[in-house]
Amino acid sequence: MIKTENIEKYFTNGNEWNHVVKNISLAIPLTSFTAITGKSGSGKSTLLNLLCGIDQPFKGRIHINGNDITSFSKRKLTKWRNAEIGIVFQSFHLLPSLTLIENVMLPMEFSSNKKNKKSRAAGLLQKVGLENKANMFPDYVSGGEKQRAAIARALANDPPVLFADEPTGNLDTENAAHIMELFLALKNENKTIVMVTHDLELAGKTDKIIHMKDGQIIEGPAAAPRARGAGFI
Ligand SMILES: Nc1ncnc2c1ncn2[C@@H]1O[C@H](COP(=O)(O)OP(=O)(O)OP(=O)(O)O)[C@@H](O)[C@H]1O
């Protein structure tokens, strides 16, 4: 279960405070696929960054699979992130000086399991359909291929939970559909996926939509018929 209790986030520009996440309590069950939608500036990425421990709430608690990540030290949080979650970004964040397979192997370097890194990374690239591009550098593959490599990297340490921030934002419709197929397949392999997206059509393919407005969750577009109870508490 991914659970937040009354989380709050403010940003300041030095003069005034911007209340970006307002007292959000939510619960997302494991092995579900949830979309976070809402207008630009509504707080989607900020909420996602809090859920994956990239950022800290000003107030409130965040529990991921029984871990209160808001109680973790920086060091523990980094270790937890590397082992327990995968993150996919809109702009891929691949290291340009490493080949695709080296990018996928990178998180394994910081894991307790360093065995068979290359064959595990090759298996992940095969899973995302990039077995023939393993030795290419990111600058020489397409946007869709970069994102598939980024997903393979997010899966490097076989985390139960994947967070994705606008993973299809830089892709055309066909590539976006391919990325969605991958996420849906991963959900069927019992991964828990939380994805920020502007795209209501893509969001409609998930189990549940969490709709944000002005830092709060509001009742949004209907969830897909196979919704499995992700929601608010
Ligand atoms: N690091 C930061 N410092 C200051 N303000 C920030 C920071 N990050 C986000 N904000 C502000 O918080 C608000 C919410 O931003 P956020 O990126 O979470 O929105 P969003 O819904 O993801 O928007 P978009 O769809 O455009 O990415 C915005 O007003 C933004 O300017």
pLDDT of residue 111: 87
Q: Mind listing the pLDDT tens digit for each residue in 188-226?
A: 999 999 999 999 999 999 999 999 999 999 975 444 444
- Which pLDDT score, from 0 to 100, does residue 59 have? 96
- The alpha carbon of 93 and the centre of ligand 1 are apart by a number of angstroms equal to 19
- The answer, yes or no, to whether any atom of ligand 1 lies below 6 A from the CB of 42, is yes
pLDDT of 220: 53
Looking from the CA of 105 toward its CB, the CA atoms found within 13 Å total 15
pLDDT (0 to 100) of residue 112:
84
Reported as a pLDDT band with limits 50, 70 and 90, residue 130 is: very high
Residue 186: its pLDDT value, please? 95
Expressed as residue numbers, the domain containing 205 is: 2-232
Q: Which pLDDT does position 115 carry in this prediction? A: 87
Arithmetic mean of pLDDT over the chain: 91
Dihedral sign computed on CA atoms, order 87, 194, 38, 24:
negative
- pLDDT value of residue 227: 44
**Cα gap 131→111, rounded to integer Å:** 23
Q: Is 60 exceeded by the pLDDT of residue 233?
A: no
pLDDT grade for 120, boundaries at 50, 70 and 90: very high
78 with 85: CB under 8 angstroms? no
Atom of ligand 1 nearest to the CA of 47: 18
Tell which atom from ligand 1 comes closest to the C-alpha of 12.
4
Based on the structure, what is the number of domains in the chain? 1
CATH, residue 126: 3.40.50.300
- Residue 71 pLDDT exceeds 80: yes
User: By the 8 A CB rule, do 127 and 51 touch?
Assistant: no
Residue nearest to atom 9 of ligand 1 (CA): 46
Task: For ligand 1, say whether the CB of 11 is within 6 Å of any of its atoms.
Answer: yes
Report the atom number in ligand 1 closest to the C-alpha of 196.
Answer: 22
Residue 62 pLDDT greater than 90, yes or no: yes
Q: Is 38 in the pocket of ligand 1 (CB under 6 A)?
A: yes
- Nearest residue to 142 (alpha-carbon basis) of 108, 179, 115: 179
